Amino acid sequence: MLAARVLSLRGSLAAFSSALFVMMHTVACTAGTASNNCALNTCTSGAVLKTFANVTRDQMQTATISACIDNQCVSGTPSSVPSSPGDRLTVSLQGQLNVTGYLGSPDPEKGYVVEADFNLSDSAPAASDTYQLFVTTADGTKVAGGIDETAIFTKTTPNGADCPPVCQNAVIDKTQ
């Protein structure tokens, strides 16, 4: 009687093992396809431009910050100017591009850090696009140290090469 139960238990284990093997093999065969094995990580295409504007506090309070792609620009004037080391304030930039401006506390020798973060999620960055970031004082003087160059984009695929999304990002940093 005991021998019959052991044989029955062995038969059940063998059937279970066979079913488990088939199930694992089936999952392994479909795991490599993009539709079944992509994570849900997201990314946003964009470009970040950073430069210095060597102006006085009074000049920065009335200056205009402009960020452009191929001379299509957004611009704005800081509502306040950073005063403490490490401060980073948002500057509202108005226009048809999706750009967030920032103004960082000044370096004693190089001036204020000016940054523009371009959100390019609604457009495909072109290799020939020229990006500009500059500061113009109230008297119309364009401050030296601005940016006017073509960005070099790096492709990112946060979920793997065969899975969406695909994003492109660039950084032009003149503060280093």
Segment 55-67, tens digit of pLDDT: 999 999 999 999 9
Alpha helix segments (H runs only) across the chain? 2-31, 57-62
Contact 156, 168 (CB under 8 A): yes
Query: Is the predicted pLDDT of residue 136 greater than 50, yes or no?
Result: yes
For the beta carbon of residue 152, count every other beta carbon within 10 angstroms: 10
Residue 140 lies in a domain: yes
Give CA angle at 99 (46, 84), nearest 5°.
Answer: 105
The verdict on 58 and 93 lying in the same domain is yes
Q: Which residues contact 160 (CB under 8 A, 6 or more apart)?
A: 38, 39
Identify the domain containing residue 11 by its residue range.
1-31
Of 14 and 82, the one with more pLDDT: 82
Least confident of 9-13, 24-28, 162-166, 167-171: 24-28
Give the alpha-carbon dihedral of 137, 81, 109, 74, to 10 degrees. Answer: -50
Across the range 90-94, mean pLDDT stands at 97
Question: For residue 101, is pLDDT > 80?
Answer: yes
The answer to whether residue 54 scores a pLDDT higher than 80 is yes
Do 123 and 154 fall within a single domain? yes
Q: Evaluate whether residue 40 is within a structural domain.
A: no
**pLDDT higher at 110 or 18:** 110
The answer to whether residue 114 sits within a structural domain is yes
Instruction: Mark whether 7 and 72 lie in a shared domain.
Output: no
pLDDT for residue 10 is more than 50: no
Other CB atoms within a 10 A radius of the CB of residue 80 amount to 12
Give yes or no: residues 159 and 86 share one domain: yes
- With contact defined as beta carbons under 8 Å apart, do 49 and 133 qualify? yes
Domains contained in the chain, number: 2
26 has a pLDDT exceeding 90: no
pLDDT of residue 35: 52
Top pLDDT among 4 and 140 is at 140
